[in-house]
Structure 1
Amino acid sequence: MPDASQRILAFRLLVLLAGSLPAVWLAWQWYFGDLGAVPAEAVVHFTGRTGLILLLVTIAFSPAFRLTGWVGIMIARRQIGLWAFFWLVAHMLAWMGLDQFWDWPWIRREMVDLPYIRYGAAALLLLVPLALTSFRRMQKAMGYTAWHWLHRLVYVAAALGVTHLWILTRADYRMPMLFAAALAVLTVFRVGDALLGGKRDA
Protein backbone atom coordinates (compact mmCIF):
# COMPACT_ATOMS: atom_id res chain seq x y z
CA MET A 1 0.00 0.00 0.00
CA PRO A 2 1.47 3.42 -0.94
CA ASP A 3 2.54 5.66 1.93
CA ALA A 4 1.25 9.20 2.53
CA SER A 5 3.93 10.91 0.43
CA GLN A 6 3.22 8.63 -2.53
CA ARG A 7 -0.52 9.31 -2.31
CA ILE A 8 0.12 13.06 -2.21
CA LEU A 9 2.43 12.80 -5.23
CA ALA A 10 -0.19 10.79 -7.12
CA PHE A 11 -2.85 13.37 -6.28
CA ARG A 12 -0.62 16.22 -7.43
CA LEU A 13 0.00 14.40 -10.70
CA LEU A 14 -3.77 14.01 -11.08
CA VAL A 15 -4.17 17.77 -10.55
CA LEU A 16 -1.45 18.37 -13.15
CA LEU A 17 -3.40 16.27 -15.64
CA ALA A 18 -6.65 18.05 -14.78
CA GLY A 19 -5.02 21.38 -15.56
CA SER A 20 -3.08 20.41 -18.68
CA LEU A 21 -5.29 17.88 -20.49
CA PRO A 22 -7.81 20.53 -21.58
CA ALA A 23 -4.97 22.23 -23.49
CA VAL A 24 -4.18 18.96 -25.26
CA TRP A 25 -7.86 18.48 -26.15
CA LEU A 26 -8.17 22.07 -27.38
CA ALA A 27 -5.04 21.82 -29.53
CA TRP A 28 -6.31 18.54 -30.99
CA GLN A 29 -9.70 20.04 -31.83
CA TRP A 30 -8.11 23.14 -33.36
CA TYR A 31 -5.68 21.11 -35.47
CA PHE A 32 -8.38 18.85 -36.90
CA GLY A 33 -10.89 21.67 -37.36
CA ASP A 34 -13.45 20.29 -34.92
CA LEU A 35 -14.22 23.53 -33.08
CA GLY A 36 -17.29 24.38 -35.16
CA ALA A 37 -18.07 27.16 -37.57
CA VAL A 38 -16.39 29.86 -35.44
CA PRO A 39 -13.24 28.30 -33.88
CA ALA A 40 -12.12 31.56 -32.23
CA GLU A 41 -15.40 31.84 -30.33
CA ALA A 42 -15.18 28.19 -29.31
CA VAL A 43 -11.68 28.75 -27.90
CA VAL A 44 -12.84 31.81 -25.94
CA HIS A 45 -15.77 29.92 -24.43
CA PHE A 46 -13.78 26.76 -23.71
CA THR A 47 -10.95 28.56 -21.90
CA GLY A 48 -13.43 30.55 -19.83
CA ARG A 49 -15.45 27.51 -18.79
CA THR A 50 -12.32 25.56 -17.95
CA GLY A 51 -10.95 28.39 -15.82
CA LEU A 52 -14.22 28.85 -13.95
CA ILE A 53 -14.58 25.12 -13.29
CA LEU A 54 -11.04 24.92 -11.91
CA LEU A 55 -11.65 28.02 -9.80
CA LEU A 56 -14.68 26.36 -8.21
CA VAL A 57 -12.65 23.18 -7.69
CA THR A 58 -10.02 25.30 -5.91
CA ILE A 59 -12.70 26.62 -3.55
CA ALA A 60 -14.07 23.10 -3.07
CA PHE A 61 -10.68 21.87 -1.83
CA SER A 62 -11.19 23.62 1.54
CA PRO A 63 -14.46 21.84 2.45
CA ALA A 64 -13.01 18.62 1.06
CA PHE A 65 -10.12 18.98 3.50
CA ARG A 66 -12.52 19.76 6.33
CA LEU A 67 -14.56 16.65 5.58
CA THR A 68 -11.65 14.25 4.99
CA GLY A 69 -8.77 15.74 6.96
CA TRP A 70 -6.36 14.61 4.25
CA VAL A 71 -3.48 17.08 3.98
CA GLY A 72 -2.80 16.17 0.34
CA ILE A 73 -5.87 18.16 -0.71
CA MET A 74 -4.51 21.39 0.73
CA ILE A 75 -1.04 20.76 -0.65
CA ALA A 76 -2.47 20.53 -4.18
CA ARG A 77 -4.88 23.45 -3.78
CA ARG A 78 -2.30 26.06 -4.81
CA GLN A 79 -1.50 24.00 -7.89
CA ILE A 80 -5.10 23.82 -9.09
CA GLY A 81 -5.61 27.50 -8.22
CA LEU A 82 -2.71 28.49 -10.46
CA TRP A 83 -4.15 26.34 -13.23
CA ALA A 84 -7.47 28.17 -12.86
CA PHE A 85 -5.63 31.49 -13.13
CA PHE A 86 -3.74 30.25 -16.19
CA TRP A 87 -6.93 29.27 -17.99
CA LEU A 88 -8.69 32.53 -17.14
CA VAL A 89 -5.72 34.53 -18.43
CA ALA A 90 -5.86 32.37 -21.56
CA HIS A 91 -9.57 33.20 -21.80
CA MET A 92 -8.83 36.93 -21.69
CA LEU A 93 -6.00 36.68 -24.22
CA ALA A 94 -8.12 34.53 -26.55
CA TRP A 95 -10.90 37.12 -26.43
CA MET A 96 -8.49 39.99 -27.06
CA GLY A 97 -6.52 38.24 -29.79
CA LEU A 98 -8.82 35.79 -31.56
CA ASP A 99 -12.09 37.68 -31.13
CA GLN A 100 -11.01 41.33 -31.02
CA PHE A 101 -7.79 41.03 -33.07
CA TRP A 102 -5.87 43.17 -30.56
CA ASP A 103 -7.90 46.23 -31.56
CA TRP A 104 -7.27 48.18 -28.35
CA PRO A 105 -9.71 51.07 -28.97
CA TRP A 106 -12.45 48.54 -29.69
CA ILE A 107 -11.48 46.44 -26.65
CA ARG A 108 -11.74 49.51 -24.41
CA ARG A 109 -15.10 50.37 -25.94
CA GLU A 110 -16.37 46.84 -25.33
CA MET A 111 -15.27 47.00 -21.70
CA VAL A 112 -17.15 50.26 -21.24
CA ASP A 113 -20.32 49.22 -23.07
CA LEU A 114 -20.72 45.56 -22.03
CA PRO A 115 -21.26 44.80 -18.32
CA TYR A 116 -20.37 41.12 -18.58
CA ILE A 117 -16.88 42.02 -19.83
CA ARG A 118 -16.39 44.35 -16.88
CA TYR A 119 -17.43 41.58 -14.49
CA GLY A 120 -15.02 39.16 -16.12
CA ALA A 121 -12.15 41.66 -16.08
CA ALA A 122 -12.81 42.48 -12.43
CA ALA A 123 -12.76 38.77 -11.55
CA LEU A 124 -9.40 38.30 -13.26
CA LEU A 125 -7.92 41.39 -11.60
CA LEU A 126 -8.94 40.06 -8.18
CA LEU A 127 -7.15 36.81 -8.92
CA VAL A 128 -3.84 38.51 -9.76
CA PRO A 129 -2.81 39.21 -6.13
CA LEU A 130 -3.99 35.73 -5.14
CA ALA A 131 -1.75 34.13 -7.75
CA LEU A 132 1.20 36.34 -6.81
CA THR A 133 0.86 35.51 -3.10
CA SER A 134 0.01 31.82 -3.49
CA PHE A 135 3.55 30.68 -2.67
CA ARG A 136 4.57 29.62 0.82
CA ARG A 137 7.24 32.33 1.05
CA MET A 138 4.63 35.04 0.46
CA GLN A 139 2.32 33.46 3.03
CA LYS A 140 5.08 33.62 5.63
CA ALA A 141 5.99 37.19 4.67
CA MET A 142 2.38 38.41 4.94
CA GLY A 143 1.46 36.42 8.01
CA TYR A 144 -1.20 33.74 7.95
CA THR A 145 -4.10 35.98 9.04
CA ALA A 146 -3.55 38.66 6.38
CA TRP A 147 -2.86 36.02 3.74
CA HIS A 148 -6.01 34.11 4.68
CA TRP A 149 -8.20 37.21 4.47
CA LEU A 150 -6.71 38.20 1.12
CA HIS A 151 -7.39 34.78 -0.37
CA ARG A 152 -11.04 34.96 0.60
CA LEU A 153 -11.33 37.23 -2.44
CA VAL A 154 -11.50 34.01 -4.45
CA TYR A 155 -15.20 33.84 -3.53
CA VAL A 156 -15.78 37.34 -4.89
CA ALA A 157 -13.82 36.53 -8.05
CA ALA A 158 -15.84 33.34 -8.56
CA ALA A 159 -19.12 35.23 -8.06
CA LEU A 160 -18.04 37.80 -10.65
CA GLY A 161 -17.08 34.99 -13.01
CA VAL A 162 -20.45 33.30 -12.62
CA THR A 163 -22.18 36.67 -13.19
CA HIS A 164 -20.06 37.17 -16.31
CA LEU A 165 -21.21 33.80 -17.66
CA TRP A 166 -24.83 34.38 -16.67
CA ILE A 167 -25.12 37.71 -18.50
CA LEU A 168 -23.29 36.31 -21.51
CA THR A 169 -25.70 33.36 -21.78
CA ARG A 170 -28.56 33.91 -24.21
CA ALA A 171 -30.70 30.75 -24.15
CA ASP A 172 -29.64 27.66 -22.19
CA TYR A 173 -29.04 28.69 -18.58
CA ARG A 174 -28.33 25.22 -17.23
CA MET A 175 -24.57 25.71 -17.08
CA PRO A 176 -24.58 29.12 -15.31
CA MET A 177 -27.25 27.82 -12.93
CA LEU A 178 -25.08 24.82 -12.12
CA PHE A 179 -22.06 27.04 -11.49
CA ALA A 180 -24.12 29.44 -9.37
CA ALA A 181 -25.56 26.57 -7.31
CA ALA A 182 -22.09 25.07 -6.76
CA LEU A 183 -20.69 28.43 -5.64
CA ALA A 184 -23.68 29.01 -3.34
CA VAL A 185 -23.19 25.62 -1.66
CA LEU A 186 -19.45 26.21 -1.22
CA THR A 187 -20.05 29.70 0.19
CA VAL A 188 -22.68 28.48 2.66
CA PHE A 189 -20.32 25.71 3.75
CA ARG A 190 -17.50 28.22 4.26
CA VAL A 191 -19.64 30.64 6.25
CA GLY A 192 -21.10 27.83 8.35
CA ASP A 193 -17.67 26.38 9.03
CA ALA A 194 -16.37 29.82 10.08
CA LEU A 195 -19.30 30.34 12.44
CA LEU A 196 -18.96 26.89 13.98
CA GLY A 197 -15.23 27.37 14.24
CA GLY A 198 -15.78 30.59 16.14
CA LYS A 199 -18.14 28.83 18.55
CA ARG A 200 -15.62 26.03 19.08
CA ASP A 201 -12.88 28.54 19.81
CA ALA A 202 -15.07 30.59 22.18
Structure 2
Amino acid sequence: MGKHISRAKWLVFCVCLLPLFWLVYALLNDQLGANPIEAVTRDTGLWALRFIMLTLLISPLRKLTGINEFIRFRRMLGLFAFFYASVHMLLYLGLDQFFDVQEIWLDIIKRPFITVGFISFLLLIPLTITSTDKMIKKLGGRRWKKLHYLIYLIVVLSCLHFYMLVKQDKTEPVIYLLIVILLLGFRVLSQRRRHQVASS
Protein backbone atom coordinates (compact mmCIF):
# COMPACT_ATOMS: atom_id res chain seq x y z
CA MET A 1 0.00 0.00 0.00
CA GLY A 2 2.84 2.40 0.92
CA LYS A 3 4.62 1.83 -2.41
CA HIS A 4 1.34 2.37 -4.27
CA ILE A 5 0.78 5.74 -2.55
CA SER A 6 4.40 6.75 -3.16
CA ARG A 7 4.09 6.03 -6.88
CA ALA A 8 0.78 7.87 -7.02
CA LYS A 9 2.39 10.91 -5.38
CA TRP A 10 5.18 10.92 -7.95
CA LEU A 11 2.61 10.68 -10.72
CA VAL A 12 0.59 13.58 -9.27
CA PHE A 13 3.80 15.59 -8.84
CA CYS A 14 4.71 15.12 -12.51
CA VAL A 15 1.18 15.97 -13.66
CA CYS A 16 1.26 19.16 -11.58
CA LEU A 17 4.40 20.27 -13.44
CA LEU A 18 2.81 19.81 -16.88
CA PRO A 19 1.30 23.34 -17.03
CA LEU A 20 4.75 24.83 -16.40
CA PHE A 21 6.38 22.64 -19.05
CA TRP A 22 3.67 23.58 -21.54
CA LEU A 23 4.06 27.32 -20.86
CA VAL A 24 7.84 27.12 -21.27
CA TYR A 25 7.43 25.12 -24.51
CA ALA A 26 4.79 27.52 -25.84
CA LEU A 27 6.93 30.53 -24.93
CA LEU A 28 10.01 29.12 -26.68
CA ASN A 29 7.98 28.19 -29.76
CA ASP A 30 6.10 31.48 -30.04
CA GLN A 31 2.67 29.96 -29.38
CA LEU A 32 1.39 32.48 -26.82
CA GLY A 33 0.15 35.22 -29.11
CA ALA A 34 1.22 38.81 -29.57
CA ASN A 35 2.06 39.36 -25.89
CA PRO A 36 3.66 36.14 -24.57
CA ILE A 37 4.82 37.64 -21.27
CA GLU A 38 1.28 38.76 -20.46
CA ALA A 39 -0.02 35.30 -21.44
CA VAL A 40 2.47 33.47 -19.20
CA THR A 41 1.75 35.83 -16.29
CA ARG A 42 -2.00 35.34 -16.70
CA ASP A 43 -1.81 31.57 -17.11
CA THR A 44 0.45 30.99 -14.08
CA GLY A 45 -2.03 32.97 -11.98
CA LEU A 46 -4.88 30.94 -13.40
CA TRP A 47 -3.11 27.68 -12.58
CA ALA A 48 -2.51 28.91 -9.04
CA LEU A 49 -6.28 29.43 -8.70
CA ARG A 50 -6.99 26.00 -10.17
CA PHE A 51 -4.68 24.30 -7.70
CA ILE A 52 -6.27 26.18 -4.79
CA MET A 53 -9.65 24.93 -5.97
CA LEU A 54 -8.29 21.38 -6.28
CA THR A 55 -7.18 21.46 -2.64
CA LEU A 56 -10.75 22.42 -1.68
CA LEU A 57 -12.11 19.61 -3.86
CA ILE A 58 -10.22 16.91 -1.93
CA SER A 59 -12.58 16.76 1.06
CA PRO A 60 -15.78 16.54 -1.04
CA LEU A 61 -14.15 13.83 -3.18
CA ARG A 62 -13.17 11.86 -0.11
CA LYS A 63 -16.65 12.08 1.39
CA LEU A 64 -18.50 11.33 -1.85
CA THR A 65 -16.31 8.40 -2.90
CA GLY A 66 -15.22 7.05 0.47
CA ILE A 67 -11.60 7.01 -0.78
CA ASN A 68 -9.59 8.46 2.11
CA GLU A 69 -6.31 8.31 0.17
CA PHE A 70 -7.28 11.53 -1.64
CA ILE A 71 -6.28 13.47 1.48
CA ARG A 72 -2.64 12.44 0.96
CA PHE A 73 -2.41 14.68 -2.10
CA ARG A 74 -3.90 17.85 -0.61
CA ARG A 75 -0.64 19.21 0.78
CA MET A 76 1.15 18.72 -2.53
CA LEU A 77 -1.64 20.47 -4.43
CA GLY A 78 -1.52 23.35 -1.96
CA LEU A 79 2.24 23.71 -2.40
CA PHE A 80 1.84 23.73 -6.17
CA ALA A 81 -0.79 26.45 -5.79
CA PHE A 82 1.81 28.55 -3.96
CA PHE A 83 4.46 27.64 -6.55
CA TYR A 84 2.36 28.87 -9.48
CA ALA A 85 1.23 31.92 -7.49
CA SER A 86 4.91 32.74 -6.78
CA VAL A 87 5.83 32.42 -10.46
CA HIS A 88 2.84 34.61 -11.30
CA MET A 89 3.94 37.22 -8.76
CA LEU A 90 7.60 37.15 -9.84
CA LEU A 91 6.64 37.63 -13.48
CA TYR A 92 4.53 40.64 -12.51
CA LEU A 93 7.20 42.13 -10.24
CA GLY A 94 10.12 41.47 -12.58
CA LEU A 95 8.84 41.72 -16.13
CA ASP A 96 5.97 44.16 -15.62
CA GLN A 97 7.39 46.42 -12.90
CA PHE A 98 11.15 45.63 -13.13
CA PHE A 99 11.25 45.29 -9.32
CA ASP A 100 10.67 49.03 -8.94
CA VAL A 101 9.32 49.17 -5.37
CA GLN A 102 7.78 52.62 -5.77
CA GLU A 103 5.98 51.68 -9.00
CA ILE A 104 4.79 48.40 -7.48
CA TRP A 105 3.37 50.22 -4.46
CA LEU A 106 1.62 52.79 -6.65
CA ASP A 107 0.19 50.00 -8.81
CA ILE A 108 -1.15 48.19 -5.74
CA ILE A 109 -2.87 51.37 -4.56
CA LYS A 110 -4.20 52.50 -7.96
CA ARG A 111 -5.49 49.23 -9.41
CA PRO A 112 -7.94 47.31 -7.19
CA PHE A 113 -7.44 43.96 -8.94
CA ILE A 114 -3.70 44.18 -8.18
CA THR A 115 -4.53 44.98 -4.54
CA VAL A 116 -6.82 41.95 -4.26
CA GLY A 117 -4.31 39.65 -5.94
CA PHE A 118 -1.47 40.89 -3.76
CA ILE A 119 -3.48 40.29 -0.57
CA SER A 120 -4.40 36.81 -1.78
CA PHE A 121 -0.73 35.98 -2.36
CA LEU A 122 0.35 37.31 1.03
CA LEU A 123 -2.29 35.17 2.76
CA LEU A 124 -0.92 32.08 1.00
CA ILE A 125 2.51 32.53 2.59
CA PRO A 126 1.63 31.55 6.20
CA LEU A 127 -0.32 28.53 4.92
CA THR A 128 2.72 27.37 2.96
CA ILE A 129 5.12 27.94 5.85
CA THR A 130 2.90 25.93 8.22
CA SER A 131 2.25 23.05 5.81
CA THR A 132 4.92 20.74 7.30
CA ASP A 133 4.24 18.09 9.96
CA LYS A 134 6.68 19.86 12.27
CA MET A 135 4.74 23.14 12.06
CA ILE A 136 1.42 21.34 12.60
CA LYS A 137 2.79 19.85 15.83
CA LYS A 138 4.26 23.19 16.87
CA LEU A 139 1.02 25.11 16.33
CA GLY A 140 -1.28 22.38 17.57
CA GLY A 141 -4.12 20.88 15.58
CA ARG A 142 -6.78 23.45 16.50
CA ARG A 143 -4.69 26.55 15.84
CA TRP A 144 -3.37 25.02 12.61
CA LYS A 145 -6.93 24.35 11.38
CA LYS A 146 -8.06 27.87 12.26
CA LEU A 147 -5.11 29.35 10.38
CA HIS A 148 -5.78 27.19 7.33
CA TYR A 149 -9.38 28.39 7.16
CA LEU A 150 -7.73 31.33 5.36
CA ILE A 151 -7.84 29.17 2.24
CA TYR A 152 -11.54 30.02 1.86
CA LEU A 153 -10.82 33.74 1.91
CA ILE A 154 -7.87 33.22 -0.44
CA VAL A 155 -9.92 31.35 -3.05
CA VAL A 156 -12.66 34.01 -2.98
CA LEU A 157 -10.10 36.83 -3.34
CA SER A 158 -8.36 34.94 -6.15
CA CYS A 159 -11.63 34.54 -8.05
CA LEU A 160 -12.38 38.22 -7.49
CA HIS A 161 -8.89 39.11 -8.76
CA PHE A 162 -9.53 37.05 -11.91
CA TYR A 163 -12.99 38.57 -12.40
CA MET A 164 -11.66 42.12 -12.08
CA LEU A 165 -8.74 41.36 -14.40
CA VAL A 166 -10.93 40.21 -17.29
CA LYS A 167 -12.24 43.26 -19.12
CA GLN A 168 -14.68 41.84 -21.68
CA ASP A 169 -16.07 38.31 -21.64
CA LYS A 170 -16.32 37.40 -17.95
CA THR A 171 -17.81 33.94 -18.54
CA GLU A 172 -14.71 32.04 -17.38
CA PRO A 173 -14.22 33.91 -14.07
CA VAL A 174 -17.96 33.58 -13.35
CA ILE A 175 -17.71 29.80 -13.86
CA TYR A 176 -14.80 29.68 -11.40
CA LEU A 177 -16.81 31.72 -8.90
CA LEU A 178 -19.77 29.35 -9.20
CA ILE A 179 -17.54 26.32 -8.63
CA VAL A 180 -16.05 27.98 -5.54
CA ILE A 181 -19.54 28.76 -4.22
CA LEU A 182 -20.46 25.08 -4.63
CA LEU A 183 -17.30 23.97 -2.81
CA LEU A 184 -17.91 26.42 0.03
CA GLY A 185 -21.55 25.37 0.20
CA PHE A 186 -20.49 21.74 0.51
CA ARG A 187 -18.17 22.74 3.36
CA VAL A 188 -20.96 24.59 5.20
CA LEU A 189 -23.38 21.67 4.83
CA SER A 190 -20.75 19.20 6.06
CA GLN A 191 -20.08 21.30 9.15
CA ARG A 192 -23.81 21.59 9.90
CA ARG A 193 -24.24 17.83 9.66
CA ARG A 194 -21.25 17.32 11.92
CA HIS A 195 -22.69 19.66 14.54
CA GLN A 196 -26.08 17.97 14.32
CA VAL A 197 -24.51 14.53 14.85
CA ALA A 198 -22.41 15.85 17.75
CA SER A 199 -25.40 17.48 19.47
CA SER A 200 -27.74 14.50 19.01
Unaligned runs of 5+ in 2: none
Instruction: Say if 2:120 is the partner of 1:118.
Output: no
Task: Tell me, in whole angstroms, the C-alpha distance in 2 between the residues paired with 1:192 and 1:165.
Answer: 27
1:103: how far off? 2.4
Q: Equivalent residues in 2 for 1:1-202 (5 A)?
A: 4-202=1-199
4+ residue runs over 4 A deviation: none
Task: Tell me, in whole angstroms, the C-alpha distance in 2 between the residues paired with 1:130 and 1:29.
Answer: 31
Task: Tell me, in whole angstroms, the C-alpha distance in 1 between the residues paired with 2:34 and 2:100.
Answer: 22
Task: Tell me, in whole angstroms, the C-alpha distance in 1 between the residues paired with 2:65 and 2:145.
Answer: 21
Task: Tell me, in whole angstroms, the C-alpha distance in 1 between the residues paired with 2:170 and 2:49.
Answer: 16
Unaligned runs of 5+ in 1: none
Provide the alpha-carbon RMSD of the alignment: 1.2
TM-score, scaled relative to structure 1: 0.94
Percent identical? 34
AA of the residue aligned to 2:192: L
AA of the residue aligned to 1:182: I
Paired residues in the alignment total: 199
1:6: how far off? 4.1
Greater alpha carbon shift after TM alignment, 11-20 vs 145-154: 11-20
TM-score, scaled relative to structure 2: 0.95
AA of the residue aligned to 1:51: A
Task: Tell me, in whole angstroms, the C-alpha distance in 1 between the residues paired with 2:68 and 2:132.
Answer: 17
Task: Tell me, in whole angstroms, the C-alpha distance in 2 between the residues paired with 1:14 and 1:65.
Answer: 19
Task: Tell me, in whole angstroms, the C-alpha distance in 1 between the residues paired with 2:168 and 2:29.
Answer: 28
Greater alpha carbon shift after TM alignment, 62-71 vs 31-40: 62-71
1:63: how far off? 1.3
Task: Tell me, in whole angstroms, the C-alpha distance in 2 between the residues paired with 1:71 and 1:135.
Answer: 20
> CA-to-partner distance for each residue in 1:128-175, whole Å, 9 max, x for gaps?
110011111111221111111111110100100000011111111111
Task: Tell me, in whole angstroms, the C-alpha distance in 2 between the residues paired with 1:62 and 1:7.
Answer: 21
1:178: how far off? 1.1
Contact 1:11 1:72 in 2 (8 A): no
